[in-house]
Amino acid sequence: MDKGTVGIIGSGTMGRGIAQVAAGVGYDVILNDISGDLVCRSVERLERELARLVDKGKMEDVARGELLSRVKTSTDLRDMEKADIIIEAIFEDLDAKKQVFERLDEVCREGVVLGSNSSSLSILDLAMVTKRPESVVGIHFFNPVPLMKGVELVCTIMTSFKTLEAARQFSVSLGKDTWVAKDAPGFLSTRLLIPYLLDAMRLLESGFAKKEDIDSCCVLSFNYPMGPLTLSDLIGLDVLLNISNGMYASFKDPKFAAPILLEKMVKAGQLGRKAGKGFYDYS
């Protein structure tokens, strides 16, 4: 069942989710982060999530053990020399991501696909800090990774067909469907999503509607699985603020401008589900 080795940089929600689905279908996974504490806590979180699946009868205990045995932890990017495909999944900061790709260019074998899980930043900017821009591609997963069926592939003007096809085949091997987006701020998915979420925040901010009514309207009227404010809490309000600011800087379009409410909530540490409080209280 061995399918090769996937290197994942960033052990947060997205990195952990990608690790779960990759290990679940037979890939060996190297899960990397900047500290042993961070990556160990991520694996502990994964163990708890898999244990819940076993308790609910959605996973066999043997399968849980096999999955976890395929996930190895790392705090040194030199470990990525063993990987056949890399996915960077750190926070949305272009300079930080560039530093990762510069280092990957030094340690990874020739021909390895260098993917980024960025939801809005320029993939070409990441590619051009390497000596192999043809091997860099966006591989954008969605949260929660084990449940969401789509993967957005972002092709730059330098990405080779071979790299794009390898990224597509990898995504399909995880049980995902794909589409290709242009390398422009927000790509396709985020360019559609951000105005929808920000408009919901503006309705709440103006006092036009209550948060529960905004979410219920979208769930009951449009058959969405969750409302925009619940979804915002799931994504992380700090993540949305960074994306919104970046897209507004690129397009200067008011629909991408962050509402004052969003800015104040982030400043107050009310970041959503991961912080225990956002538009809703999760404590």
Which 3-state string (H, E, C) describes 174-197? CCCEEEEEECCCCCCHHHHHHHHH
Amino acid 94: pLDDT: 93
CA distance 253 to 255: 5
For residue 137, CA distances in Å to 41, 57, 111, 148, 229 come to 29, 37, 13, 20, 30
Q: Closest Cα partner for 149 from 184, 179, 186?
A: 179
For residues 58 and 35, the answer to whether their CB atoms sit within 8 Å is no
Can you spell out the DSSP letters for 234-278? Answer: HH-HHHHHHHHHHHHHHH--GGGSPPHHHHHHHHTT--BGGGTBS
Residue ranges and CATH numbers for the domains of the chain are 5-182 (3.40.50.720), 190-275 (1.10.1040.10)
CA distance 214 to 147: 24
Look up the pTM and report it.
Answer: 0.90
Amino acid 3: pLDDT: 86
Per-residue pLDDT of the chain (283 residues; tens, 9 = 90+): 468 999 999 999 999 999 999 999 999 999 999 999 999 999 999 999 999 999 999 999 999 999 999 999 999 999 999 999 999 999 989 999 999 999 999 999 999 999 999 999 999 999 999 999 999 999 999 989 999 999 999 999 999 999 999 999 999 999 999 999 999 999 999 999 999 999 999 999 999 999 999 999 999 999 999 999 999 999 999 999 999 998 999 999 999 999 999 999 999 999 999 999 999 999 8
Identity of the amino acid at 46 = L
Question: Which residues are CB-contacts of 266 (< 8 A; sequence separation ≥ 6)?
Answer: 237, 238, 241
Amino acid 1: pLDDT: 46
